[in-house]
Amino acid sequence: MPTDLRLPTHSIVRPDKDRFLNEDNPFEAMMSRFDRAAELLDLEPGLYKILRHPEKQLTVSMPVQMDNGEVEVFTGFRVLYNTSRGPAKGGIRFDMQVSLEEVTALAAWMTWKCAVVNLPFGGAKGGVICDPLTMSVGELERLTRRYTANIIKTLGPDSDVPAPDVNTNERVMAWVMDTYSMHVGHTVTGVVTGKPVEMGGSLGRREATGRGVMLVTKEALAHLGMPVAGTTVAVQGFGNVGSAAARLLAREGCRIVAIGDRTGARHDASGFDVADAIAWVRRHGTLEGYGRGDPLTNAELLELEVDVLVPAALESVITTRNASRIRARIIAEGANGPTTAAADDLLAERGIFVVPDILANAGGVTVSYFEWVQNRAAFAWPEDVVNDRLREVMTRSFREVLALALERSVDLRTAAYMLAIGRVASVQRLRGIYA
């Protein structure tokens, strides 16, 4: 089936960034976890200082001719946080709330995420302050191409490899790839991932994050001695990650008892037919009007008594305000940053087993890595090879993080950060400081 290159507004995420900032500043929220892990690792002070700073922060201005003939100037950023382990990897987001601080935090996040699953990548992030909902496709294309041109010195398959993020998609990646290729004079597929399959995208990429969530959830259930069959699951967010995770968990025998999106949530103790719900969303854009089950709010969904809760929508939905009411046994973080740093301890005190975002949602970047490898080899893998290799990476990574958590008597999040920071630090030590 050819790739749908339209920018449908219903698939555009508009995360409520105020929530992201409510309990903590994004950079500090991530860095408080970093500090805890660094202390446990007994990181030497010099290395600590290096890893607490981004390598490169670019701020660029993009003049764009709008459809009405006026010129607008947009501001964008690209941050390379740490590239000691390989080319920088990280998405580009288009959103009014983008800031240098947020992009830096997300670039650090990508550094740890790539390291925790042991990909040979560093971490990066990019963003442009704009409201894509109000822009035409032509305006978005001109903005994307000018942004790409403005950051072109950092880009390249060996240096910095973007991917889609909030409000960007395969269509946008095709423009980035084309603009880069025009500048260097030949087609370079490996400069971005998350491309349309026809131009070098990987099979299996679209559902890779949800598949990764399913795989780590199964590992967590096995560790806790809980059966997969009949496990009750609530999923917040029914987009790319949430719907794929729900579909694949249901296929494994789990009962998906609650699903929700920005329009509200539904509950059905007997379990949803996930394929039917996905078909509804495909036809109508959201779950609004979906008749199965009983309505409930997104806040109620988070507090349901279920075996597994999969937050797969927004940042900072589990906070000090609701952590004491969460009744799930396992939380598999499909979204980035769904739990605030301040809520971590409350969940741990109550024995809730949290599979942290940098591990649980790393399936997407893992298949992005596979895409980059396929592009470099100019040899596309069949989907089952992609899925098998993803399973290997996710299960191995989960087991490595769990082993460290048990050895050091820490929660999985702290162990994931320790493993990731330890890996980055060890390469940094071996490479030394370039004079």
Residues annotated catalytic, as ranges: 125
Q: Which C-beta is closer to ligand NAD: that of 190 or that of 237?
A: 237
Residues that bind ligand NAD (CB under 6 A): 11, 13, 209, 236-242, 260-262, 286, 298, 312-314, 334-336, 361, 364
Q: Which is nearer to ligand NAD, 142 or 280 (CB)?
A: 280
Nearest to ligand NAD of 118, 428 (CB atom): 118
Residues 6+ apart with CB under 8 A from 119: 85, 86, 89, 365, 366, 369
Burial status of residue 191 (CB atoms within 10 A of its CB: 0-12, 13-18, 19 or more) = buried
What is the Cα Rg of the chain in Å?
21
Cβ-based nearer residue to ligand NAD, 194 or 428 = 194
Please report, for residues 42, 292, 370, the alpha-carbon distance to residue 246 in angstroms, rounded to integers and kept in the order given.
Answer: 39, 16, 23
Cα 31 off chain centre by: 18
Tokens linked to 201: 């995208």
CB of 268 to ligand NAD, least distance (A): 17
CB closer to ligand NAD out of 181 and 263: 263
d(CA 72, CA 387): 43
Task: Indicate the Cα dihedral angle 276, 279, 283, 284, nearest 10°.
Answer: 60
Residue 32: CB atoms within 10 A of its CB come to 16
In the bound complex, what is the minimum distance in angstroms from residue 135's beta carbon to ligand NAD? 17
- Give the integer Cα–Cα distance in Å for 332 and 241: 12
DSSP state of 133: G
Selection from 28, 59, 34 nearest residue 49 by Cα = 34
Q: How far is the CB of 312 from ligand NAD (least distance, A)?
A: 5
Residues 353 and 42 sit within 8 Å (Cβ to Cβ): no
Q: Closer to ligand NAD at the Cβ: 236 or 397?
A: 236
User: What residues form DSSP beta bridges with 88?
Assistant: 122, 160
Residue type, 318: I
Q: Which long-range contacts (CB under 8 A, 24 or more apart) does 181-189 make?
A: 183/149, 183/152, 188/156, 188/157, 189/375
Written as one string, the DSSP assignment of 371-394 is HHHHHHHT-PPPHHHHHHHHHHHH
Residue 420 three-state SS = helix
Which residue's CB is nearer to ligand NAD, number 89 or number 142? 89
Nearest approach in angstroms of CB 236 to ligand NAD is: 5
The most distant pair of C-alpha atoms in the chain lies apart, rounded to whole Å, by 65
Select 84 or 366, whichever has its Cβ closest to ligand NAD. 366
Do 80 and 104 touch, CB atoms closer than 8 A?
A: no
Minimal CB distance to ligand NAD: which residue?
A: 239
Q: Residues, the chain, total?
A: 435
